[in-house]
Each structure stands twice: as structure tokens, then as C-alpha cells.
Structure 1
Amino acid sequence: MPGWGRLFSVRIGTNRDAGSESMSVIDTQPAYRWIVVCASALILAIAMGAIVNGMSAFVVPMQEEFGWQRGDITLVNFAGIMGLAFGGLVWGRQADRRGTRPVVLFGAIVIALCYLLASYATTLWQYYLVFFVAGFFGAGAIFPPIMAAVGNWFAVGAGMAIGIASAGQALGQGAVPFISSVLIARLGISGAFSAIGFFMLLTLVPLALLLRQPPPLNNTSSSTIADDENMPVPPNVVITTMCVAIILCCTCMAVPLMHLVPLIQDSGISAIDAGSVIFTMLVVAIMGRLAFGILADKIGALQAYMTATLWMTVMVFGFTYIENLKWFYIYAVIYGFGYAGVMTGVLISIRVLIPPSRRAAAFGIITMFGWFGHAIGGYMGGALYDFSGNYTMAFAVAAITGVLNLVVVSTLFRKTRVRASLAAA
């Protein structure tokens, strides 16, 4: 198998034998890798859908039942994502030492039990505590180990595999709020938390047992220094720039993810219909994640990332002008397809711009800042709603962070072009 540095060189067009070598590697890869991909996609759909924006369906019901402000309620989501951000750094390392299956299995049990505990909560601090634990010990033990494991099963073709797994997450981010809305209407807030918790135990545990460690791959890659020299931009520069970029893009995308359902409900539309809009949006996002993965192969990872970010930035504020359910559906479908490519672009950019010897650590650091962005955007939307009485200001700030992200990523793109030109000369 060619060294990773050589595979990177193949990607930028300096090795004419790339096609035949890649095909020979593909032929020797184990078929079980696709079971790992499918199980990972389903685990991410359920667990990440619950932590990242599953609370969006509970915002208005909690406000009506307990009289809490929306900013205070969205801090529950903030606590969960902050737990995920910090927990990922801890549990990613544990997965390297102990293997993926035991760590993910532990996380699956914890997140399920936390949802069951949430059904007994009666005060905000109890929700904050339970969801922080669910994020740190639950989702934090699931997301980084799974994303690393999926990539490790593929010597080549990991981009598409990661796209499929992340598409599962997109499905969950739409399905969990929609199903939660239905459960809340029928069972109440506590009943909904309890039902979701039992469902997690019944599904996440057997799915986690399907995960295995990949067989060892022959590794003829060069040293860390040589890997670094093969990169168009120094890895430390890439990591720093991507951390800034991802916190901005995730702040932008978190506002509609967390507040689109309440925004639609403010137009007099039922909670179930509002939940169905975001479900539809994130089902379309599955196709968007795969499509932008293919686009990245054709035009480049950073170019695909910038295209998706521009799409999201241009459209995000438009949600505040819609009042009709039909147009919410139409607009959400268009927005969802483009916004979904942002995370695909991030993941593929990390893979292309960071050498293999540093990629896992870079992934943990960069995605941690992404979860910070999700937490900030989710809370900011609620706080600005409480301040202004509507969502106009929140969605406007989301658009501004999208513009800033484009500035940061375009700067990194220009650096890669300049370094590549100098190397070619």
C-alpha cells in the first residue's frame, strides 16, 4: 500500500499511477467496513440528534408549562454540547487505548440513562446537570471515537464513508426533534424524555456491539516531519485557522437548528408541523452531505466548504420573512441541501490538509471548537429572542458569523494556493 504522504501527492495530481494503486487498495479492504459505517450512521442519528438539537422541540412546551425564558431553556442544549466538546477530548484518547466498541457502548448507556433521568427533572439546574453529563460521558464517548473508527477502516475512500456516517447524524438532527414533538403532544415533557431514553437503550446498545477495530494496515508513511513537509500549509496554521472558522460556521448553523421550530410555532403553526419542517430539512441534508462530498472530490475540499458556507450564509436570514407552512417547507429544503455541505467540507478539509500522524488530534481539537459554536449559537438565539421579542436579531447575527467564516476560510484557501504554486515552481 502506498504511504499516506504519497496518497496525498496522488490527490494533487503528481502520480500517474494513482488510479491503479487506489483500486488495488480498495480490493483488499474488508467488507465488514460497511457494517461499521451503517452502524455508525445509525448511532450518530440517535445520539447526536438528541444532544445537538433534540431540545429544540422542548423549548416552547417548557416555556408554557414552567414559565421559563427561552434563553434559560436553551442553556440545557448549551450544557449538553459543552459536555460533548470537552468529553470528546477525553474519550477520543480512551478509544485509542481501549478500542472503539467499549467506549461507544459506555457512551450509549450513559446518554440513554440521562434521558431517563431527565424525565424526573423539575428545575433548570437539574436539566443542566443531566445534559452536561449526557454530553461529556455520553455523546463525547460516541462522536469522536466513531468518526475516527469509520476513517480507520478505509485506506482509501474514507471521505465518502465519513459522508455517509455524518449523513446519519443529519437524519437524526431532523428526526429526533420531530419525533420528540409527537411524543410531547401525546405523553407530555416527562413522558417524552422517558420514551426516548428507553428507545436509546434498545437501539444504541446492540448497534455499539457491531463496532470492531479495523485490521492493521501496512504503513510505510514517512515521519511526522516528512508528513508536515508534504502539506501545502503548516498543520498548526491549518488547525488554528479551522478552529476559528468552525466556531463561526457552527454558530451560524446552530441558530436555525435550535430555533427554527420555535420560530415556526410563533407563526401560529402547530408543534408537530413545525417539527416536520426541520425533519424534512435534515432529510434533504443527507443528500447534501453526500453531494458536497462528491463536489469536494471534483473541485477541492476548501472550495466545497466555501460553497456550502456561502449557501448557508445567504439563506439563513430568509427564514424570518416566512409565515406560511408551505413556504417554510420549500425554503427549508433548499437551505438544508446547501447548509449540510458545511460539515462535510470541514471533515474532508481536515483529512486533506492535516498529515495522518496528527489528524486524530487535529480532529478532536477542531470539532471541539465546532461544538462551542453550536452551544453559542443555540444560546444566543434564545437570549436575543428574550431581549428583542422575536428572532430577527438572532438570525441576523447568524448571517454575520457566516460572512466572517467565509473571510477566514478564503484566507486559508489563498494560503494553500500560494504554497502550492511555489511548490510547483
Structure 2
Amino acid sequence: MPIVHLMSHAIDLGFSAARGAEMLSLLLAGGFVSRLGFGLLADRIGGLRTILIGSIGQAATLSLFIWIDGLTGLYLSALAFGLAFGGLVTTYSLVARELFPLGEVGWRIGVILLCGTLGMAGGGYLGGLVYDLAGSYRIAFLTGVIFNLGNLVIVLGLLFRLRPAASADLSRAS
């Protein structure tokens, strides 16, 4: 949602479009760095745990846009959001490989990325709709945080569901 609405949010707060573009550039630069960092992190702790960390970071940094209205804070929030969200989508492919048999990974990654892309497009649309109805990006960003919390519940559910299976595999290997 911030990728689509950050410039408009900045303008609504009284900043120029150029400042909004700078914020967006910082967000996207953070996303680039994040893709590399998430890959390194996933190699060490696994894809699903990396998604958990990214999802927590995304929810936390998205919530910053609700409260922060100063220029420096918005720059830092944009960068932090980019660092949190950037590697999530690429990590989904790693998780698919970790959780599914090799013969099923290709089509599952396609479905995962399709659903992720539709979710991101829907988030941008929903953010605009909420803004149009409420007249505030704060409420739109809050809506995004709520959806992120739903995502966290799903990721935590997967982690807890898979933990006993991973422990059983390790005990059989010994």
C-alpha cells in the first residue's frame, strides 16, 4: 500500500511531490537491499522464519505511517518499510521449496506469486477506497496493518504446525 499511496500521503501532509518521490525512492532502495538480506537470513534460519521476521517488520513499519507526519520521520519510515517488505515476495519461493515436494514446487510458486501479486494490487486499491471513504490515509494504513496481522497469524500457524514434524524428522535421523 505505501508504494501506491506514499506520494499522495506526503502531499496530503503538505510536502511537495518531489519529497514524496524521494520517500518512494528510499522505500524502493530499501526493498532492493532487503532482497539480498532476506536471502542471507533465509539461508541461516529458514524461509518461513524469515517471512515471520519480515511480516512483523512490515506490520510495524506500516503502522509508522499512521503516526508520523514529519519529513524526517517519513523518510525513515519509508526506508524501514522498504527493508521490511522487499524480501518477502522472493522468500515465498524459498518456503515453497522447503515445504513441498520438488515435483510440485513450480506450479505452487506460480500460484503463490499470482496470489501475492493480486493481494498487493488489492491492497493498493483498498487503500485508495478507504482513503476515499474516510478522507484519511491514517485509516487506510491502519487497514493495511490489520491485514498484515492476519498474515502474521497464518505464518505463525504454519510455524507451529510444522514444528512437530521437523522435530520428528530430526529424531528419526539420529
* Both proteins in one fold, TM over 0.5: yes
Aligned twin of 1:361: 107
Which of 90, 94, 116 is equivalent to 1:370? 116
Identity of aligned residues (%): 32
CA distance in 2 between partners of 1:382 and 1:329 (Å) = 21
> Does 2:126 correspond to 1:380?
yes
Which of 44, 48, 52 is equivalent to 1:298? 44
Q: Where does structure 1 lack aligned partners over 5 or more consecutive residues? A: 1-254
Q: Give the superposition deviation at 1:354.
A: 2.2
TM-score for the superposition, normalised by structure 2: 0.92
CA distance in 2 between partners of 1:345 and 1:365 (Å) = 14
2:7, 2:17 within 8 Å by CA — same for their partners in 1? yes
CA distance in 1 between partners of 2:167 and 2:70 (Å) = 51
> Does 2:44 correspond to 1:281?
no
Q: Give the superposition deviation at 1:272.
A: 2.0
- Asked which structure has the greater RCO (Cα within 8 Å, sep 6+), the reply is 2
1:305, 1:344 within 8 Å by CA — same for their partners in 2? no
CA distance in 2 between partners of 1:393 and 1:407 (Å) = 21
2:146 maps to a residue whose letter is I
RMSD, aligned CA? 1.4
1:286, 1:340 within 8 Å by CA — same for their partners in 2? yes
| Structure 1 segment 221-240 matched on structure 2, within 5 A | none
CA distance in 2 between partners of 1:261 and 1:419 (Å) = 45
CA distance in 1 between partners of 2:4 and 2:103 (Å) = 36
| Structure 1 segment 142-161 matched on structure 2, within 5 A | none
Q: Work out the number of aligned pairs and report it.
A: 171
Q: Give the superposition deviation at 1:326.
A: 2.1
> Does 2:153 correspond to 1:402?
no
Q: Give the superposition deviation at 1:347.
A: 2.0
Aligned twin of 1:331: 77
1:270 maps to a residue whose letter is S
CA distance in 2 between partners of 1:334 and 1:315 (Å) = 6
1:319, 1:328 within 8 Å by CA — same for their partners in 2? yes
1:329 maps to a residue whose letter is Y
1:265, 1:271 within 8 Å by CA — same for their partners in 2? yes
| Structure 1 segment 301-316 matched on structure 2, within 5 A | 301-316=47-62
1:356 maps to a residue whose letter is L
> Does 2:95 correspond to 1:349?
yes
User: Which secondary structure does the structure 1 equivalent of 2:159 belong to?
Assistant: helix
Q: Where does structure 2 lack aligned partners over 5 or more consecutive residues? A: none
TM-score for the superposition, normalised by structure 1: 0.39
Q: Give the superposition deviation at 1:320.
A: 2.6
2:85 maps to a residue whose letter is Y
CA distance in 2 between partners of 1:321 and 1:349 (Å) = 33
CA distance in 2 between partners of 1:281 and 1:411 (Å) = 29
2:61, 2:84 within 8 Å by CA — same for their partners in 1? no
| Structure 1 segment 68-87 matched on structure 2, within 5 A | none
CA distance in 2 between partners of 1:374 and 1:354 (Å) = 24
Q: Give the superposition deviation at 1:387.
A: 0.6
Post-superposition CA distance 1:301-331 (Å, at most 9, x none) = 1001100000111121211322222221122
Q: Between Structure 1 and Structure 2, whose CA radius of gyration is higher? A: 1
User: Which secondary structure does the structure 2 equivalent of 1:323 belong to?
Assistant: coil
CA distance in 2 between partners of 1:267 and 1:283 (Å) = 23
| Structure richer in helix, relative to its length | 2
1:317, 1:399 within 8 Å by CA — same for their partners in 2? yes
User: Which secondary structure does the structure 1 equivalent of 2:15 belong to?
Assistant: coil
Which of 410, 415, 425 is equivalent to 2:161? 415
Post-superposition CA distance 1:336-370 (Å, at most 9, x none) = 21222322321211122222211111111111111
